[in-house]
Amino acid sequence: MAHPQIKQATLRDIADEVGVSYQTVWRVVNDHPNVAKATRSRVQRAVEELDYRPHRAAQMLTTGRSYILQLVIFEYGHSDRLPAILHWGREYGYSIIVTELEVPPTAASVRSVLRETSQMIDGLLFLMPYPHLNYDDLSDLCQGRPFVVVNTKLGSKMPSVVFDQWNGARSAVSHLIDLGHREIAEISGPLDHFDGAMRHRAWEVFLGNNGLEPSLTAAGDFSVCSGYLCAGQILAQKRPFTALFVGNDTMALGALRALHEAGLRIPQDVSVVGFDDIPIAAYFDPPLTTMRQDFEALGRESIEYLVSRIGNLDVPIQQRVLYPELVIRKSTQQNPV
């Protein structure tokens, strides 16, 4: 027995439902100005209630846009950023193609994937925290299509959205110093990665500025395993330390395991600070003091900036900066010495 097809809602259905013209609904759906706020709200509510799905081919004919973005990823552990970017893409009416390329990024690898999608997309996001491609490289590769880089170097002249890793790391180290710690070890992220290098450099400089020796360090790769192994390397040096700054929460989890196995109590013997505030950080043993990065805000700002560039090529090229926030939990305490 054949099942009846479910009729998809149209713009005219929405217009009839709300009691406005077809043209008004079209302007709202395509995010055009000159629609009263109350009317826009009523139309948007009807769009949700009637489960309207825009016809992509018709959209391309009437607006010249596909309403498709491409997210190109060169990243260690990008999963913390991805959900918010995809969510805000949907909120702005865009589908997102996700392409993951191997590190290090090269012009040839980017050109290859863009060749496959060049006729489909309105703009690009690059999750690319490495110094291998600059603004001129990306402009050439994108061939006039708007793009935004997520988490590039602080101070970059590219259209980008970043966290201030320098001041985030400085806040973490300052917290430990304020608690009276003077021997502060570090497990850094990979030093060819903008975030890893900036957090490491801030630890190094801020300890030096306070007359402390920034020498007890090991470099990981942002994974749990590397945090465990790096903590073992630091412990093997048999040098005293009362605090440990770790370049991300995932490595901090591995480091906590190594410290526990060595018979050290957290925070009584060693205070530990991580970075990111991943969802499970509050459930570590003990709950982790860390620097919160608002990935939801990062996703929103990245999509909003890219969409604004798609709508207006004259939007200024700028770097939007977000600021990590110290979250104090039970893995740090006053140095008892």
Q: Does domain 165-293 have CATH number 3.30.565.10?
A: no
Identify the band that residue 160 occupies on the pLDDT scale cut at 50, 70 and 90.
very high
Q: Kindly report the pTM of this predicted structure.
A: 0.80
Q: Where does 68-163+295-323 sit in CATH, by number?
A: 3.40.50.2300
Q: What is the C-alpha to C-alpha distance for residues 227 and 73, in angstroms, rounded to an integer?
A: 23
What confidence score (pLDDT) does residue 286 get?
A: 97
The model's pLDDT over 28-68, given as tens digits with 9 standing for 90+, comes to: 877 776 788 889 899 889 888 888 766 555 555 555 677 88
240 vs 92, higher pLDDT:
240
Is the CB of residue 244 less than 8 Å from the CB of residue 186?
A: yes
What is the secondary structure of 142-174 as a DSSP string?
Answer: HTT--EEEES--TT-SSSEEEE-HHHHHHHHHH
**Fold type of domain 11-53:** 434 Repressor (Amino-terminal Domain) (1.10.260)
Can 11-53 and 68-163+295-323 be said to share one CATH topology?
no
Q: Domain map of the chain by residue range?
A: 11-53, 68-163+295-323, 165-293
| Measured distance CA(134)–CA(158) in Å, rounded | 8
pLDDT at 212: 95
SS3 category, 241: coil
What is the predicted pLDDT for the residue at 2? 46
The pair of structure tokens assigned to 233 is 């390397």
Contact indicator for 160, 150 with CB cutoff of 8 Å = yes
Give how far the C-alpha of residue 163 lies from the chain's centroid of Cα atoms, to the nearest Å: 8
Q: What is the pLDDT of residue 3?
A: 44
**The tokens of 128 are what?**
């690319």
Identify the pLDDT of residue 77.
61
What is the per-residue pLDDT for 54?
65
Residue 127: closest CA among 83, 168, 169 = 83
Distances (CA, A) of 294 to 79, 210, 232, 301, 322: 14, 29, 31, 11, 8
The lowest-confidence range among 62-76, 226-240, 322-336 is 62-76
Amino acid at 194: F
